[in-house]
């Protein structure tokens, strides 16, 4: 597996860990932990998906014949 993708998937697991730990807390700490855990998971999964999508091109990102990342704004 690609090193960048594995790091993002490990960070998604860490986000899940934060989410489960926050369940034991109370009040604002619980709410903050839940939002932070969800944010870490979402950013990690979207980043891994974008990285895999960008690598699926035949020439790679930025190369002739390769696919570009869908989140990059194209210049006029």
Question: According to the model, what pLDDT value does residue 58 have?
Answer: 43
Question: According to the model, what pLDDT value does residue 38 have?
Answer: 93
Q: Does residue 71 register a pLDDT over 70?
A: no
Q: Does residue 4 register a pLDDT over 60?
A: yes
Cβ atoms 23, 31 nearer than 8 A: no
Which one is predicted more confidently, 29 or 69? 29
Q: Does residue 33 register a pLDDT over 70?
A: yes
Q: Which residues contact 23 (CB under 8 A, 6 or more apart)?
A: 30, 34
pLDDT band at 59 (very low <50, low <70, confident <90, very high): very low
Which one is predicted more confidently, 72 or 59? 72
| Spans of all domains in the chain | 1-76
Q: How far apart are CA 52 and CA 4, in angstroms?
A: 10
């Amino acid at each position: 597996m690609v090193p960048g993708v594995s790091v993002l998937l490990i960070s998604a697991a860490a986000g899940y860990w934060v989410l489960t730990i926050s369940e034991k807390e109370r009040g604002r700490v619980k709410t903050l932990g839940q939002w932070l855990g969800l944010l870490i998971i979402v950013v990690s999964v979207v980043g891994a998906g974008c990285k895999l999508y960008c690598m699926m091109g035949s020439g790679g990102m930025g190369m002739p014949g390769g696919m570009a990342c869908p989140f990059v704004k194209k210049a006029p």
